[in-house]
Each structure stands twice: as C-alpha cells, then as structure tokens.
Structure 1
Amino acid sequence: MRVYYDRDADIARILDRKIAIVGYGSQGRAHALNLKDSGAKNVVVALRPGSDTAKKVEADGLKVMSVADAAGWADALMILAPDELQRDIYNNDIAPNIRDGAALLFAHGLNVHFRLIEPKASIDVLMVAPKGPGHTVRGEYQKGGGVPCLIAVHQDATGGALDLGLAYASAIGGGRSGIIETNFREECETDLFGEQAVLCGGVVELIRAGFETLVEAGYAPEMAYFECLHEVKLIVDLIYEGGIANMNYSISNTAEYGEYVSGPRVVTPDTKAEMKRILEDIQSGRFVRDWMTECAAGQPSFKATRRRTAEHEIEAVGERLRGMMPWIAKNKLVDKAVN
C-alpha cells in the first residue's frame, strides 16, 4: 500500500483552480476552510437555492453558489452532501453542467462503487477521504497537523487525476500525516463494515446492553453510565495512542484478566459469523439498496429509530452527569451552531 506525503504533492496544482464544495456539514466546512487557509484562491460552497446554511457559509467568509452554477464554473467539484442525496444532486444539477476535463471528487465511494452515480467519461473522478470526522479534520489542521486521507482514482480522463487529488489532500492537511492509496471498492466496503459492525453499530449496542444489564440488576443508572459509556473514552484513547497492547499495559491486571476471560463470552464465534453476514450484505449491494429504498420512502423507520434512541434512559442520565463535568463541554468537538 503506497503512502504519499506533502513532499509528494504539488499543492500549486490546486491553489489556482476553481473549487466548489457541495454541502457545508462537518466535512464540507472543514474542507472549504482548510483549502482557503492553505492559499486556494477560488473556493465556493454550492448549496440548494434558499438554503439556511448559506448564512453559516457567508459568516465564514466564503461565497455561496447554486450547485448547477458551481458545476459549470468549477475546475474541481467535491461532493460532500449526504450519501442519500448525491445521486439526485449529480443527475439534476451536476451532470448537465459539469465541463469536460473537470474533476469530480468524493469523500466516500458509495455512490460511485454501487453505480448510483455513473459519471460521464470526459471528467476525472477521484476520492479524497479523510479518516476522521470533519471537526477533527479542521481542528488538527488548525493545530498544524492533519488527518490521514485515503486517495483513489476511479476515472482519469485528463491524465492528471492523481496529481490533482494529492494536491487537494495536501491542502486539507492530509499530506502532513499521510495520504494512503486505495480504490473505491475497498474504501466503501470497509468503511460501511467498520461503521456497522464495530464503530457505530457494535459499540453503541454494547454500551446500551451493558447499561441496561446493570440497571435491570438494581444498580444506580449513574454508576451504569460511568462504567459502560463514560469510561469507553478512557479505554479507546489508550488503544488509539498505541494499540490494544498499550491499553492492556495501562490497565490493572484484574481488568486485563477480565478482558481475556469475559470478552469472548460477549463477542462469540456467532458474533463473528454475523459480522460476515453483514459484510456480505454490504458487498452484494443489499445494504445500499435497502437504505436507498428507506430514503425514497421518506426515512420513516430511520427517523423513528433515531427518536427512540434519543429517548433512551442513558441519554438523560448522561446529560445530567456531563453537567457535573464542565471540561467536557469546554473541549467539545461538535458545535451544532456552526455545523
């Protein structure tokens, strides 16, 4: 696997280009502001007409254009709208207007890999995907660092797609820590699997099940919150810093022994077999098909589940306990007033 750094990228290739960022959520804001701070002279944010987000964009000192206008204007167009909206945005506003020889960029391979979007042959199609949320992409850049990025070229109409992608990745901070070459399939399928089986699906269900087990056994919800949610960050930080062995070095022998004897009772061979079935659903396109069907219907099941999750007892207990720890809010990653 090849890794590139700032020294391998000619950042000048992006600084004079006309760049449009489609969407201004967590990633969109980070990309746009990092590009601007790196010296990119022509960065605009493309939004639907009348979007309330335009006020946030303008407050950050950036120009707003419609997606259709931006598609006809830009040399490079990075799509950072939600996955479920990208196909319609491309078909309705980008495809009729994007110029031959322009570059279409993505930060996730889903729409291209599963052929929801089929770009015309006369444009470059590539991916620059930071391996972290937008708040971290922005925060690390401002500290002088950067979040590692994945890079992949799906279509190289001009012969310069990789060089353009490296310049873009460098300008958002990726070249400071590493730009890793991959392909759309590998990025998309591993990303979906990691989110579902471990990072979001697996971890969240494990936390809730542990919390409920303790509360149902008569322990105080506050104790259950600390043991099953709050301290997850302490363990993950140790793993993040130096791997699982680093975490085991840092915890007590009692905790480590409990990990060895009880962990396999929770995550069993049956759990791994289910993970394999999850991966098969992703690889076959079944997951994406079901998700797009849910979106076409207005997301009724998705929104109902989101509402039930927000109403779980662990959320109320957590809000109360976090109020006792002001340093958490002081150092928060997410500012809903901005993103």
Structure 2
Amino acid sequence: MPGASDESRQLSLAYAKGIGGTRGGVIETTFAEETETDLFGEQAVLCGGVSALVKAAYDTLVDAGYQPEMAYFECMHELKLIVDPFYQGGLNYMRYSVSNTAEFGDYTRGPRIVTDETRAEMKRILKEIQEANSPWSGCSRTRPTSRLSRPSDATIATTRSSRWGWNCGG
C-alpha cells in the first residue's frame, strides 16, 4: 500500500488475514492499480480475449467443414487442459506438460495470432479503462449470439466412453 502509514498497513493486513485473504499471498498495491489491472485482465484477456479467440477458432473449423462437436472439444473443452498446468506452474510448465506439436504451436502460431495490431488494441483498451471510458454506461445490454455451444450430454457421454475420446460408432 504505497503511501500508507505503517499503522494502516498493519490494519489492512490484519483484516485480510482475518477474512482468509492472506492464504494465497498479499501484493501491496494501490486501489487504482488493482482496479485497472483487474478490469484489463477480465476484459482484454480472460473474458474478452479468450472467448473471442475460442469463437474465432471454432468458426474457422466449422466453416472448413469440421463437425461442430469436434470443433467444440478442440477449441473450448480442452482449454482447461492447458489452463490447469499454466496456473499450476506458469508458462514453462504448461509447455513442458503439452505435446511437442502443441508446444511448437505455442512458439510459432501464437505470435501469428497475437500481432503488433493486437498489442496496439490492448493498449487502447487499457487506456479506455484508465480514463474510465465505459461503453456500457447509459446503454442497454445486448448479448451477441454465437453458434458455439456445448454438445449434448449424450454426445459427451459417448465421447468419454471411448478410451481415446473418439466416437468410433461401436
């Protein structure tokens, strides 16, 4: 808590400990830094970026003639298989945990997706957040639709019953 007195720092840490907030660690920060990084992470990466990337990948596969169920599993369902090791041990652990072809994609395909234009757009989004420019203010909420949807429970059960995750029709 930059600029905080020692007494207020100790009181804040005591409150954090009292509600269980210190188990994962405490990062000393400002209200502005916490708010702006949280909004950026949610809007540009975790929700806005990931969901847009998943939808675009799904649409690419379906438009190329692949089954919607396969596109869903490859682009959406398997996301957790990548995020878990990423969360557990960071980027290098995730690379260690995936196949060689997946790691190759990280090194060679990722930079083709996140381009200089993507980085420039991320900077614009951060600036909007820093300037408190909320496009939701004063407008009604609309929910864009997507053709990406979870396969039926029957499809998932059939797929899971196969050792390799393939529906071999038998």
Q: Would the alpha carbon gap of residues 192 and 272 (structure 1) be closer, same or farther in structure 2, given more than 3 Å must change?
A: same
Residues 1:177 and 2:20 aligned together: no
- State, as a whole percentage, how many aligned pairs show the same letter: 54
Residues 1:257 and 2:91 aligned together: no
Residues 1:276 and 2:123 aligned together: yes
What SS class does the counterpart of residue 66 from structure 2 fall into?
Answer: coil
Distance, in Å, in 2 between the alignment partners of 1:197 and 1:230 is 21
Distance, in Å, in 2 between the alignment partners of 1:215 and 1:189 is 36
What SS class does the counterpart of residue 313 from structure 1 fall into?
Answer: coil
Q: Would the alpha carbon gap of residues 164 and 283 (structure 1) be closer, same or farther in structure 2, given more than 3 Å must change?
A: same
Structure with more strand by fraction: 1
Q: Would the alpha carbon gap of residues 258 and 178 (structure 1) be closer, same or farther in structure 2, given more than 3 Å must change?
A: closer
Higher relative contact order (CA 8 A, sep 6+): 2
Equivalence map 1:223-242=2 (5 Å) = 223-242=70-89
Indicate if the aligned counterparts of 1:215 and 1:221 stay in contact, CA closer than 8 A.
yes
Distance, in Å, in 2 between the alignment partners of 1:235 and 1:322 is 25
Dislocated runs of 4+, deviation >6 Å: 153-156
Gaps of 5+ in 1: 1-151, 295-299, 326-339
Residues 1:324 and 2:156 aligned together: yes
Distance, in Å, in 1 between the alignment partners of 2:155 and 2:13 is 43
Q: Would the alpha carbon gap of residues 224 and 323 (structure 1) be closer, same or farther in structure 2, given more than 3 Å must change?
A: closer
Distance, in Å, in 2 between the alignment partners of 1:216 and 1:238 is 30
Question: What is the aligned partner in structure 2 of residue 221 from structure 1?
Answer: 68
Structure with more helix by fraction: 2
- Per the TM alignment, residue 281 of structure 1 is displaced from its structure 2 partner at its CA by 0.9
Give the letter aligned to residue 265 of structure 1: R
Instruction: Choose from 163, 167, 173 the match for 2:14.
Output: 167
- Per the TM alignment, residue 165 of structure 1 is displaced from its structure 2 partner at its CA by 2.3
- Per the TM alignment, residue 155 of structure 1 is displaced from its structure 2 partner at its CA by 8.3
Q: Would the alpha carbon gap of residues 324 and 172 (structure 1) be closer, same or farther in structure 2, given more than 3 Å must change?
A: farther
Give the letter aligned to residue 228 of structure 1: C
Residues 1:293 and 2:138 aligned together: yes
Indicate if the aligned counterparts of 2:72 and 2:151 stay in contact, CA closer than 8 A.
no
Indicate if the aligned counterparts of 2:72 and 2:148 stay in contact, CA closer than 8 A.
yes
Gaps of 5+ in 2: 158-170
Give the letter aligned to residue 314 of structure 1: L
Q: How many residues align?
A: 157
